Chains A and B, each alone.
Chain A
Amino acid sequence: MIEVVGATKRYGDRVAVDDLTFTVKPGIVTGFLGPNGAGKSTTMRMIMGLDAPTGGDVRVNGKHYAEHTAPLREVGALLEARAVHTGRSAYNHLRAMALTHGIPRSRVDEVIDLVGLGDVARKRVGGFSLGMGQRLGVAVALLGDPATLVLDEPVNGLDPEGVRWIRHLLRSLAAEGRTVFVSSHLMSEMALTADHLIIIGKGRLIANTPMAEFTEQASGKVVRVRTEDSARLRELLAGPEVSVTAVERGVLEVHGLSSTAIGLVARDNAIALDELTPVVASLEEAFMDLTKDAVEFGVHDDTERKAS
């Protein structure tokens, strides 16, 4: 369980996280989504007690991270930048982490096996590929058999096999009743893994919703209607929450009404429809749409630049 209440983080003038409030529940995979620079890593660093919030409160399993007597037992973390001395072997890195808590050597061997680093565990981490580094990060996160996992972009640098493996792992960790909090800037990745979504942009909360609901909203938004009588139908559909645009002659795109509702209106008014299709917007599009105002380093509109 992770509780973030009104958390704010300022670095000088820059506000990285702005009054953020959400809870991450155990037993499911919660995706933490946002464009680059949205404040995901900063939020995760606050959860791990690495950065102190400027305001608000961040607790994990009921306490501030630093108040836990066995933090590795409570929270396992994979943070974005590799947090490993490049001159040390993976095995010795894990041993050093384990020693701080009195975690036995057998557990170190176990997590090395689990992430598939057996062959290279005695080699220096400096020679690791990004994917191997990520696997070592996952091994560190699992070392204390923690109740909560915080993983910042775990699929970064993994090959397709590794990506599939991470997905499996996250799902099974959640199924064991753990709290699993995973960040990504890719909606497509989250769509396959997460049960719940927390979306932020420019440090603010944009959405906090079950994955299923997000999918539903994203897919049912626009309905395409083709009819000879488009002008009349357009008038009939008009309403405060509804917007209708004519995309071409005889084709309307309707926002704010379900296909069922449109079908009923057409029937009641004896309008023959040639086509009635809910347009499935991709989750990626829905995500982009949601966060387009919050892209920190977004590409500026060409016309805007020409005008200036």
Chain B
Amino acid sequence: MSAALLTDDAPTARKSTLPSDVRVTLPRVVRSEWLKFWSLRSSYFSIAGMVVAMIGLSVLVSTVTSSHWTRMKPAQQARFDPTAVSLRGYFLAQLVVGVLGVLVVTGEYGTGMIRSSVSAAPRRLPVLIGKAAVFAVITVLVTTVAAVVAFLVGQQILSSQHIETTLGAAGVTRAVLGTGFYLTVVGLLGTGIGFIVRSTAGSIATLFGLLLVLPVLGEALPPDWADKINPYLPSNAGQQLLEAHPAPAPMLGPWAGFAVFCGYAVVALVVGAVLLKRRDA
């Protein structure tokens, strides 16, 4: 208990005077969001989860592949893609990134923190921009580094069978760096959905419904419809960037597909921004 509680002296709320330039600016809100990100345990767990998923799965899949290589059928060997084998961890990492992207927002709605956030920045848009920017910068760095390490470690393991590839080979650098971009946009899509749906469970269900369930449903479409729709489904479009040898038409090219994928995230963030502005907090 502090002395203020025990004395009868009326406490005074002011000791020092605040600087004269105290006011809300976008860079300040971004700095606040940066501190918010790093002051929660879940951020560290998620980042650790991403890295372990990327590198751990690369080690696992590369090791299993090398040890089976001599027993694999020629057809299997022909389909073998050393880049994809070492980046297989993206599939698990996207779950972690997606959940983190959602939690950055819904963690605040769930606890009531969002009311503090929007009362400190009542124009509200800086809150969304700050969250998206901080999340994107941290995630793109972490996932890109994790993807590069996963690739290098995987190739090192595959080199025991002389089946490795290098960053200089066609499409490989694009696929490795693209993994970081793809994962970051998965998270941003989650952030946008978080602002729209506001509940953690609902947002995660929506995000992975879009990413994982839609492509499965798309495969059930009649062929002439499938060719028109499937290339544009979010993960079908976005994952083209992860392939050193992208699937041919009607699937979109790697950058065109990624642009479509970014479009989904932009739409989610814009709708989220409009709702954040309009709805009661």
Check if A and B associate. Answer: yes
- Give the B interface residue count (CB, 8 A): 48
> Whole-angstrom distance between the alpha carbons of A48 and B4 in the complex?
28
Whether the Cβ atoms of B18 and A144 lie closer than 8 Å is yes
Partner of B11, one of A83, A102, A145, A169: A169
Tell whether, in the assembled complex, residue B280 and residue A50 are in contact, meaning their CB atoms are under 8 Å apart.
yes
What distance in Å separates the Cβ of B276 from its nearest Cβ neighbour in chain A? 12
- Tell me if A172 is interfacial: C-beta within 8 Å of chain B: yes
**Which A-B residue pairs are the 10 nearest by beta carbons?**
A116-B2, A172-B10, A66-B122, A92-B39, A99-B32, A70-B23, A83-B115, A85-B113, A51-B280, A100-B120
In the complex, whether A235 has a CB less than 8 A from a CB of chain B is no
Q: Mark A166-184, 1 if CB is under 8 A from B, else 0.
A: 0011011101100000000
Residue B171 CB within 8 A of the other chain: no
* A and B contact pairs by CB, cutoff 8 A, 5 listed: A97-B116, A100-B24, A102-B23, A114-B13, A175-B10
Residues of A near B19 (CB, < 8 A) are 102, 104
Verify if B14 is at the interface (C-beta below 8 Å from A): yes
Q: Does B217 contact A (CB under 8 A)?
A: no
Let me know if B39 and A176 touch, CB within 8 A: no
Q: Which of A51-108 contact B (CB under 8 A)?
A: 51-52, 65-66, 68-73, 77, 79, 81-89, 92-93, 95-97, 99-104, 106-107
B107 CB to nearest A CB, Å: 6
Give Cα distance in the complex from A118 to B122, angstroms. 29
Contact with A114, one of B1, B4, B21 (Cβ below 8 angstroms):
B4
- Across the two chains, which residue of chain B brings its CB closest to A93? B116
Q: Is the CB of B39 within 8 A of A89?
A: yes
The distance from the CB of B17 to the nearest CB of chain A, in whole angstroms, is: 8
- Shortest beta-carbon distance from B97 to chain A in Å: 19
Does the CB pair A103–B111 fall under 8 Å?
A: no
Instruction: Return chain B residues, CB-CB under 8 Å to A110.
Output: 15-16
Given contacts A84-B116, A165-B11, contact A95 B35 (CB under 8 A): yes
* B26-50 to A contact mask, C-beta < 8 Å, 1/0: 0011011101100111100000000
Residues of A within 8 A of B115 (CB): 50, 79, 81, 83
Is A255 close to B, CB under 8 A? no
Which of A49, A73, A173 meets B22, CB within 8 Å? A73
Main DSSP-derived SS at the B contact region: loop
User: Given known contacts A110-B16, A144-B22, is B280 in contact with A84 (CB within 8 Å)?
Assistant: no
Q: Are A49 and B122 in contact (CB under 8 A)?
A: yes
What separation, in Å, do the CA atoms of A82 and B116 have in the docked complex?
A: 9
Contacts of A70 in B (CB 8 A): 22-24
From B15, B18, B24, B114, residue with most partner A Cβ within 10 Å:
B18
User: B69-87 interface mask toward A, CB cutoff 8 Å, 1 = contact, 0 = none?
Assistant: 0000000000000000000
Contact yes or no, B16 A99, CB < 8 A: no
Tell me whether A113 is interfacial, beta carbon within 8 Å.
Answer: yes
Q: Are the C-beta atoms of B39 and A88 separated by less than 8 Å?
A: yes
- Bitwise interface map of B from 83 to 99 toward A, beta carbon under 8 Å scored 1, else 0: 00000000000000000
Q: Is the pair A101, B24 in contact by a Cβ cutoff of 8 Å?
A: yes
Tell yes or no: B159 within 8 A of A by CB.
Answer: no
A220 at interface (Cβ–Cβ under 8 A)? no
Contact check, A165 vs B5: say whether CB atoms are below 8 A apart. Answer: yes
- Are A66 and B123 touching (Cβ within 8 A)? yes
CB of B118 closer than 8 Å to a CB of A: yes
Considering only CB atoms, which chain A residue lies closest to B37 in the complex?
A96
Cβ A49 vs Cβ B119 within 8 A: yes
A101 CA / B126 CA spacing, docked (Å): 12
Q: Contact between A73 and B18 (Cβ–Cβ < 8 Å)?
A: yes
Contact A87 B40 (CB under 8 A): yes
Separation in Å of the A107 CB from the closest CB of chain B? Answer: 6
Q: Flag if A100 contacts B29 (CB, 8 Å).
A: yes
* Residues in B neighbouring A88, C-beta threshold 8 A: 36, 39-40, 113
Q: How far is the CB of A56 from chain B (nearest CB, A)?
A: 15
B residues within 8 A CB of A113? 2, 4
Task: Please report the C-alpha to C-alpha distance between residue A7 and residue B25 in the assembled complex, in whole angstroms.
Answer: 30
Q: Which of A45, A48, A52, A161 contacts B5 (CB 8 A)?
A: A161
User: Any chain B CB within 8 A of the CB of A155?
Assistant: no
Q: Is A162 an interface residue (CB 8 A)?
A: yes
5 additional contacts (CB under 8 A) given A72-B120, A145-B17: A49-B119, A101-B23, A103-B18, A161-B1, A172-B12
